[in-house]
Structure 1
Amino acid sequence: MNTWRSPWRLERGVALWVLLVGLACGPCAAQPDWPNDESQIKAAFLYKFAGYVDWPEGFLGSVETPFTIGVLGADPIADELVQIVQGRKIHSRSIVVSRLKAGDPLEDVAILFVGKGDAARLKPVRGTLQAQPILVVTEEPAGLALGGMINFLLVDRHVRFEVALAPVEKSGLRLSSRLLAVAQRVHAEGR
């Protein structure tokens, strides 16, 4: 018996079995729903970002004050974020996801996520936002130029992010070097 063929036959048999199971389970199992996955990943990033950011002392209030993540114009991401943060804490605080509309006050928000199509609303309030220690995260191609500090990117269908350090520093926030190390791009100068 020729032994080199046995592993090949086993691999081919496993590959065929996986293909048949995928087809039997239908198109939903074989092909994940990309936009839903993208929302889940972005929501997970938003939750994780908080662990790599230092806010100025006193900004977050007492430990009884909830940590608020505001979401403007991105309901699927807000929905996913609500699921992710349920029963969890950030900096020893409970977490609240606040769905915002343009013009809503931001005084209790620690992280502001601005969805696609809404980032242009940041431009008029960019100076005000950068004077406050609020981490602004966007998902627009020009998100950093519009006032975002972290901007989501899609690179080969993978969610990545870029960081603009100038607005982060102006706001009094400090980002961990571990967060910067995994960024797709870090812009030292303002955008």
Structure 2
Amino acid sequence: MRPFRLAWLLLPVLSALAAPARAGQDQLQLKAAFIYRFAQLTQWPPPPLREFTYCVAGDAPLQDALRLLMQATPGGVPVHTLQLNEPQRVPQCQLLVLGAGVRGDLRRWHEVLADDPVLVVGDSAESFRSGAIIGLVIEPNGLAFRINQTEARRRGLAISYQMLKLAREVK
């Protein structure tokens, strides 16, 4: 039943990705779709956002996939994607993806974040354990995610009940 609910949750995003993809691009597009839905199903503290910035560190191909998805998806507020090489630009992000390229430096990224209301998505179990709010990991049956609700609350973010129900683990 869980995969069926997940398919319905992601259907609006996946339909925007209907164009044919090269081998290997499917997984990037699926990750981008998950990340996009994570943002949609998260509530930030007031005041309302005037723009939304997706930041990606350590995974340039994923940033490109997110940019393509943003072009295909209508939205209310202006949306931007940034590729970050250094954590100093993190304060302008609402969502930060920590990719494989920064795994050795996770502590520094988290220190710069402090308590800012940034939805941090890590692409490994290690990044999830080190403080990411969402761990998006590849498992034998596909992508799965884990949610650290305690960390989300500490940052002033509210994760939707839909997401919490679909997560592989909530702590």
Give the alignment's TM-score, normalised by structure 2.
Answer: 0.80
Q: 1:11-30 alignment to 2 at 5 Å?
A: none
The alignment status of 1:41 with 2:30, answered yes or no, reads yes
Residue type of the alignment partner of 1:150: I
Out of 117, 120, 124, the residue aligned to residue 136 of structure 1 is: 120
Tell me how far apart the structure 1 counterparts of residues 111 and 85 of structure 2 sit (CA, whole Å).
19
Q: Which 4+ residue blocks in structure 1 deviate beyond 4 angstroms? A: none
Distance 1:89-1:55 versus aligned 2 partners, 3 A rule: farther
Asked if residue 68 in structure 1 is aligned to residue 29 in structure 2, the reply is no
Aligned pairs, number: 151
Q: Does the aligned pair in 2 maintain the 1:130–1:168 contact within 8 Å?
A: no
Q: Is the 8 A contact 2:57 2:101 kept in 1?
A: no
Contact 1:149 1:163 in 2 (8 A): yes
- 1:128 CA drift (Å): 4.7
Q: Does the 8 Å CA contact 1:150/1:161 hold for their aligned counterparts? A: yes
Specify every segment of 5 or more residues in structure 2 that has no aligned partner in the other structure, as ranges: 1-19
Secondary structure of the equivalent of 2:89? coil
Q: Percent identity among equivalent residues?
A: 26
- Name the Cα RMSD after superposition: 2.0
Q: Which has the larger radius of gyration?
A: 1
**Secondary structure at the counterpart of residue 127 of structure 2:** coil
Deviations 1:145-172 (A, max 9, x none): 2221101122224111111112111101
Task: Give the whole-Å Cα distance in 1 for the aligned partners of 2:110 and 2:87.
Answer: 13
- Equivalent in 155, 162, 165 of residue 149 of structure 2: 165
Structure (1 or 2) with the greater helix fraction = 2
In the alignment, the residues of structure 1 paired with residue 103 and residue 148 of structure 2 have an alpha-carbon distance, to the nearest angstrom, of: 15
Among 73, 84, 89, the alignment partner of 1:88 is 73
Distance 2:74 2:88 in 1: 24
User: CA–CA distance in 1 between the matches of 2:128 and 2:134?
Assistant: 7
Alpha-carbon displacement from aligned partner over 1:73-120 (angstroms, at most 9, x marks no partner): 111111111110015355x20210111112331222100001014134
AA matched with 1:82: R
Which ranges in structure 1 are unaligned for 5 or more consecutive residues? 1-28
- Bigger mean CA deviation after superposition, 132-141 or 97-106: 97-106
Q: Residues 120 and 146 of structure 1 are in contact (CA less than 8 Å); yes or no, is this contact kept in structure 2?
A: no
Q: 2: distance between equivalents of 1:127 and 1:176?
A: 26
Aligned to 1:6: none
Alpha-carbon contact 2:90-2:112 (below 8 Å) kept: no
Q: TM-score, normalised by structure 1?
A: 0.72
